[in-house]
Homo-oligomer: A and B are copies of this chain.
Amino acid sequence: MLGEIKGLNEECGVFAVWGHEEAAQLAYYGLHSLQHRGQEGAGIVVSDGDKLSSHKGLGLITEAFKEGDLEQLQGSSAIGHVRYATAGGGGLVNCQPLLFQSQTTGLAVAHNGNLVNANHVKEELERKGSIFQSTSDTEVLAHLIKRSDETRFEDQLKDALSYIEGAYAFAVMTEDKLLCAMDPNGLRPLAIGTIGDTYVVASETCAFDVIGAEYLRDMQPGEIISIDDSGMHSELFSTATSRAICSLEYVYFARPDSNVDNINVHTARKNLGKEMAKEAPVEADVVTGVPDSSISAAIGYAEATGTPYELGLIKNRYVGRTFIQPSQALREQGVKMKLSAVRGVVEGKRVVMVDDSIVRGTTSKRIVRMLKEAGATEVHVRITSPPITHPCFYGIDTSTKAELIASSYTVDEMRDLMGADSLSFISIEGLQNGIGRDKSEPNCGQCLACFTGKYPTEIYDDTLHPHDKIMNG
């Protein structure tokens, strides 16, 4: 279900377009379809070939951009960004794209992911006189590009990338060129599409559908693409690549209508539900999914087990930023927002509740109780990802190991803690079968670090970005 409820959040969606006379508008609609990847801030930088112009704002893109803001962004190329800001690191100054204006040229940077050695590099840069306005690790890239001795923009970027490690899908733009780069492990997705002669790049393909673009291909680990008025060119900045795309993109983050690295997300999820059904079937009356992200898996589980799929849980569509929170007294009395159990569906029934993941476990516990209070006689919890036991350093806000319930409790203990009648997590194998990537690649080309603790990159002592997090992995 939604990150906002559970505390599992990916940081950011990236969009870029080159060569379209309504570039800012396309970015607006593209980012709008990526809104699920970040709701704390949004920004667009356009180039008119001569100068870069920027507009950013806090909140949803519909809040950050008002009628008229788009009109000010004249130009045929644009990069854009939606951001999830962790507490303390928020504020407009950290919204992206970051824009740097020099005497001769501008530079805009948008980033999805997280650098694991940002603090090391920052210290080094500060020793050399750099100063930073944001607390974002993204600013590092701009400094590295600027300090490069290379002259070709692509080479400056390559040079800069040689200093950084971690997860990144970057879009970097000057007045006359757009570069995109993907880290050697391809941890975050980035796809390329076209509308006639126009190139578009986006974190997910749902952004192509919304603007009528055609999917061309996904970017490759270690690849830089360069787009300008002469077309698109590709080169590798690293050959030591090994695809390890974040498994949770399929399980949880991406929109079901997106294809991630050429696999449809809804279908992958439905298959995860089917795998789950094979691994942990249970006698029950109804199957329900936690909206929105677990619906597909619940359908698959229902289909595979022959148990009816029902809407046993409903999400209120009108919960917004400005919602007035209930008082403690009302909350205890049972006032609940966001999610309700459907009494007419679950009363007197044995319910399979399919969810995509468990982080702290508090939300799952609340939902189990909700279902029981609505009359469910049994609640069987099925989780379509393995237990998350290790923190993520690649852009997902899974906090410290201590907060991950699966790192401290057994499955049986967790079942009891949440008051469920049974609890099963999918196996690593089930996860890989369900998603259905190429089995010939190591780990099927997936990052499994949060389940296994085996990180595809080196991890530094100070990787854990802000707020005194301590790495236990």
- Residues of A at the B interface (CB closer than 8 Å) are 22, 25-26, 28-29, 32-33, 35-36, 39, 54, 60-63, 65-67, 70, 91-93, 98-104, 107, 119, 122-123, 126, 128-135, 142-143, 146-147, 195, 205-206, 209-212, 255-259, 263-267, 270, 292, 295-296, 299, 303, 308-311, 314, 316-320, 322-324, 326-327, 329-330, 333-337, 340-345, 374
Distance between Cα atoms of A104 and B99 in the complex (Å): 24
Using CB atoms, name the residue of chain B closest to A213: B334
Are A103 and B122 CB-contacts (below 8 A) given A267-B344, A334-B211? yes
Rank and list the top 9 A-B pairs by shortest CB-CB distance, nearest first.
A212-B334, A264-B344, A257-B342, A129-B147, A35-B318, A257-B314, A100-B131, A131-B146, A62-B322
Check if A103 sits within 8 Å of B123, measured CB to CB.
yes
Contacts beyond the supplied A266-B310, A296-B311: 6 A-B pairs with Cβ under 8 Å? A62-B322, A62-B324, A133-B133, A210-B335, A257-B345, A266-B345
Distance between Cα atoms of A100 and B133 in the complex (Å): 4
Using CB atoms, name the residue of chain B closest to A340: B209
Contacts of A311 in B (CB 8 A): 256-257, 266, 295-296, 299
Using CB atoms, name the residue of chain B closest to A145: B131
Contacts of A209 in B (CB 8 A): 336, 340-341, 343, 374
Check if B337 sits within 8 Å of A29, measured CB to CB.
yes
- A303 interface neighbour in B123, B264, B308, Cβ under 8 Å: B308
Check if B67 sits within 8 Å of A324, measured CB to CB.
yes
Distance between Cα atoms of A255 and B334 in the complex (Å): 19
Contacts of A104 in B (CB 8 A): 126
Are A322 and B66 CB-contacts (below 8 A) given A32-B316, A299-B310? yes
Contacts of A103 in B (CB 8 A): 119, 122-123, 126
Distance between Cα atoms of A265 and B132 in the complex (Å): 41
Most chain B C-beta atoms within 10 Å of own C-beta, residue among A28, A32, A209, A345: A209
Using CB atoms, name the residue of chain B closest to A344: B264
Contacts of A147 in B (CB 8 A): 129
Distance between Cα atoms of A431 and B342 in the complex (Å): 22
Contacts of A206 in B (CB 8 A): 314, 340
Check if B129 sits within 8 Å of A143, measured CB to CB.
yes
Contacts of A62 in B (CB 8 A): 318-320, 322-324
Contacts of A323 in B (CB 8 A): 32, 62
Check if A344 sits within 8 Å of B102, measured CB to CB.
no
Distance between Cα atoms of A22 and B66 in the complex (Å): 28
Contacts of A65 in B (CB 8 A): 324
Using CB atoms, name the residue of chain B closest to A104: B126
Check if B310 sits within 8 Å of A309, measured CB to CB.
no
Distance between Cα atoms of A374 and B146 in the complex (Å): 43
Distance between Cα atoms of A327 and B147 in the complex (Å): 41
Distance between Cα atoms of A104 and B127 in the complex (Å): 11
Distance between Cα atoms of A85 and B299 in the complex (Å): 37
Using CB atoms, name the residue of chain B closest to A267: B344
Distance between Cα atoms of A36 and B54 in the complex (Å): 28
Distance between Cα atoms of A311 and B258 in the complex (Å): 12
Check if B133 sits within 8 Å of A98, measured CB to CB.
yes
- A131 interface neighbour in B102, B267, B296, B316, Cβ under 8 Å: B102
Distance between Cα atoms of A309 and B296 in the complex (Å): 9
**Between-chain CB contacts (< 8 Å), 6 pairs:** A25-B326, A39-B318, A60-B318, A93-B93, A264-B344, A265-B344
Check if A29 sits within 8 Å of B310, measured CB to CB.
no
Are A101 and B135 CB-contacts (below 8 A) given A257-B340, A311-B295, A318-B35? yes
Contacts of A308 in B (CB 8 A): 303
Distance between Cα atoms of A62 and B337 in the complex (Å): 12
- Nearest-neighbour CB distance to chain B for A116, whole angstroms, equals 16
Check if A327 sits within 8 Å of B22, measured CB to CB.
yes
- Nearest-neighbour CB distance to chain B for A195, whole angstroms, equals 7
Are A22 and B329 CB-contacts (below 8 A) given A211-B334, A296-B311, A310-B266? yes
